[in-house]
Amino acid sequence: MNKAFVFLLMLILTVLTACGTTNNNNQQGFQSETSDTLKDNEQSGRKDVSYVEGEITDIADRNPNFLDLNTENEAHNNHGAYQQKLREIVESTNAFNAGMIYINGHKAIVNVTPKRNLSRDDLHWRTDDLQRKLANAVPRYKIDLRVNNNNA
Protein backbone atom coordinates (compact mmCIF):
# COMPACT_ATOMS: atom_id res chain seq x y z
CA MET A 1 0.00 0.00 0.00
CA ASN A 2 2.82 2.41 0.88
CA LYS A 3 4.71 1.66 -2.33
CA ALA A 4 1.61 2.32 -4.40
CA PHE A 5 0.92 5.58 -2.54
CA VAL A 6 4.50 6.82 -2.98
CA PHE A 7 4.45 5.85 -6.67
CA LEU A 8 1.14 7.68 -7.21
CA LEU A 9 2.44 10.76 -5.38
CA MET A 10 5.61 10.80 -7.51
CA LEU A 11 3.55 10.44 -10.69
CA ILE A 12 1.30 13.37 -9.76
CA LEU A 13 4.30 15.50 -8.84
CA THR A 14 6.00 14.72 -12.16
CA VAL A 15 2.87 15.55 -14.16
CA LEU A 16 2.35 18.84 -12.34
CA THR A 17 5.94 20.04 -12.76
CA ALA A 18 6.10 19.03 -16.41
CA CYS A 19 3.19 21.34 -17.27
CA GLY A 20 5.17 24.51 -16.59
CA THR A 21 5.87 27.06 -19.34
CA THR A 22 9.12 26.88 -21.21
CA ASN A 23 8.95 30.44 -22.59
CA ASN A 24 11.18 32.67 -20.46
CA ASN A 25 11.09 35.75 -22.73
CA ASN A 26 8.85 37.71 -20.37
CA GLN A 27 11.14 37.21 -17.40
CA GLN A 28 14.32 37.87 -19.34
CA GLY A 29 12.92 41.10 -20.81
CA PHE A 30 11.96 42.37 -17.38
CA GLN A 31 15.36 41.56 -15.97
CA SER A 32 17.23 43.30 -18.78
CA GLU A 33 15.10 46.48 -18.46
CA THR A 34 15.63 46.53 -14.71
CA SER A 35 19.37 46.02 -14.97
CA ASP A 36 19.65 48.81 -17.59
CA THR A 37 17.82 51.22 -15.29
CA LEU A 38 20.07 50.27 -12.40
CA LYS A 39 23.15 50.77 -14.57
CA ASP A 40 21.91 54.23 -15.63
CA ASN A 41 21.31 55.24 -12.01
CA GLU A 42 24.72 53.96 -10.96
CA GLN A 43 26.45 55.81 -13.80
CA SER A 44 24.76 59.11 -13.01
CA GLY A 45 25.50 58.76 -9.29
CA ARG A 46 22.06 60.10 -8.36
CA LYS A 47 19.74 58.11 -6.15
CA ASP A 48 16.88 60.64 -6.15
CA VAL A 49 16.25 60.47 -9.90
CA SER A 50 14.18 57.92 -11.76
CA TYR A 51 14.51 57.16 -15.47
CA VAL A 52 11.17 56.38 -17.07
CA GLU A 53 11.01 55.93 -20.86
CA GLY A 54 13.96 58.23 -21.43
CA GLU A 55 12.56 60.96 -19.15
CA ILE A 56 14.22 62.08 -15.96
CA THR A 57 11.70 62.63 -13.17
CA ASP A 58 12.19 63.26 -9.50
CA ILE A 59 11.05 60.49 -7.21
CA ALA A 60 9.18 63.07 -5.15
CA ASP A 61 6.88 63.68 -8.12
CA ARG A 62 5.70 60.07 -8.06
CA ASN A 63 5.68 59.10 -4.39
CA PRO A 64 2.67 60.44 -2.48
CA ASN A 65 4.49 59.99 0.85
CA PHE A 66 7.02 62.72 0.05
CA LEU A 67 5.90 66.17 1.17
CA ASP A 68 5.72 68.92 -1.39
CA LEU A 69 7.86 71.60 0.21
CA ASN A 70 7.58 73.99 -2.71
CA THR A 71 7.57 77.43 -1.11
CA GLU A 72 6.22 79.05 -4.27
CA ASN A 73 2.94 77.21 -3.76
CA GLU A 74 0.32 79.78 -2.78
CA ALA A 75 -1.66 77.31 -0.66
CA HIS A 76 1.41 76.76 1.52
CA ASN A 77 0.86 77.83 5.13
CA ASN A 78 3.49 80.13 6.50
CA HIS A 79 3.22 80.16 10.29
CA GLY A 80 5.98 82.75 10.55
CA ALA A 81 3.67 85.50 9.31
CA TYR A 82 1.11 84.66 12.00
CA GLN A 83 3.78 84.51 14.68
CA GLN A 84 5.14 87.88 13.59
CA LYS A 85 1.64 89.40 13.69
CA LEU A 86 1.10 88.07 17.23
CA ARG A 87 4.51 89.41 18.30
CA GLU A 88 3.73 92.87 16.89
CA ILE A 89 0.44 93.02 18.79
CA VAL A 90 2.11 92.03 22.07
CA GLU A 91 4.85 94.63 21.62
CA SER A 92 2.31 97.35 20.72
CA THR A 93 0.60 97.09 24.12
CA ASN A 94 3.57 98.68 25.96
CA ALA A 95 2.71 96.50 28.95
CA PHE A 96 4.21 93.15 27.90
CA ASN A 97 7.34 91.76 26.31
CA ALA A 98 6.77 88.94 23.85
CA GLY A 99 8.39 85.64 24.66
CA MET A 100 8.28 82.44 22.69
CA ILE A 101 5.33 82.21 20.29
CA TYR A 102 4.55 78.93 18.59
CA ILE A 103 1.67 77.44 16.63
CA ASN A 104 0.59 73.84 16.99
CA GLY A 105 -2.42 72.77 14.97
CA HIS A 106 -5.33 75.09 15.70
CA LYS A 107 -3.71 76.55 18.80
CA ALA A 108 -1.30 79.50 19.13
CA ILE A 109 0.65 79.61 22.39
CA VAL A 110 1.87 83.12 23.26
CA ASN A 111 4.26 83.59 26.20
CA VAL A 112 4.51 87.12 27.59
CA THR A 113 6.15 88.83 30.56
CA PRO A 114 5.05 92.17 32.02
CA LYS A 115 7.42 95.08 31.36
CA ARG A 116 6.97 96.42 34.89
CA ASN A 117 5.41 95.39 38.16
CA LEU A 118 1.64 95.54 37.89
CA SER A 119 -1.01 95.10 40.53
CA ARG A 120 -3.05 91.94 40.36
CA ASP A 121 -6.16 93.76 39.06
CA ASP A 122 -4.18 95.76 36.50
CA LEU A 123 -2.41 92.62 35.29
CA HIS A 124 -5.73 90.80 34.96
CA TRP A 125 -7.29 93.70 33.03
CA ARG A 126 -4.31 94.07 30.65
CA THR A 127 -4.13 90.30 30.10
CA ASP A 128 -7.82 90.17 29.14
CA ASP A 129 -7.34 93.13 26.80
CA LEU A 130 -4.32 91.48 25.16
CA GLN A 131 -6.18 88.16 24.83
CA ARG A 132 -9.03 89.95 23.02
CA LYS A 133 -6.65 91.81 20.68
CA LEU A 134 -4.79 88.62 19.78
CA ALA A 135 -8.02 86.70 19.11
CA ASN A 136 -9.31 89.51 16.86
CA ALA A 137 -6.04 89.75 14.94
CA VAL A 138 -5.70 86.02 14.23
CA PRO A 139 -9.16 84.42 14.46
CA ARG A 140 -7.93 81.23 12.82
CA TYR A 141 -6.18 80.08 16.00
CA LYS A 142 -7.32 79.55 19.57
CA ILE A 143 -5.00 81.79 21.58
CA ASP A 144 -3.40 80.35 24.72
CA LEU A 145 -1.90 83.37 26.48
CA ARG A 146 0.65 82.49 29.16
CA VAL A 147 1.79 85.29 31.45
CA ASN A 148 5.13 84.63 33.14
CA ASN A 149 4.99 86.95 36.13
CA ASN A 150 7.88 86.04 38.40
CA ASN A 151 7.45 89.09 40.64
CA ALA A 152 3.94 88.38 41.90
pTM more than 0.75: no
Residue 18 located in a structural domain: no
Q: Side-chain half-sphere of 108: how many Cα atoms within 13 Å?
A: 23
Residue 66 scores a pLDDT above 80: no
Residue 11 located in a structural domain: no
Distance of alpha carbon 38 from alpha carbon 149, whole angstroms: 63
Do 109 and 51 fall within a single domain? no
Strand, coil or helix: 141: coil
**Domain termination site, one of 43, 73, 103:** 73
State the total domains in the chain.
2
Residue 107's domain comprises: 79-147
User: What confidence tens digit (pLDDT) does each residue in 10-31 have?
Assistant: 888 888 777 665 665 555 555 5
Do 85 and 49 fall within a single domain? no
Query: No. of H helices and E strands in the chain?
Result: 4, 5
The burial of 85, by beta-carbon neighbours within 10 Å (0-12 exposed, 13-18 middle, 19 or more buried), is given as middle
- CATH number of the CATH domain containing 95: 3.30.70.1350
Residue 67 scores a pLDDT above 80: no
Residue 2 located in a structural domain: no
Do 54 and 94 fall within a single domain? no
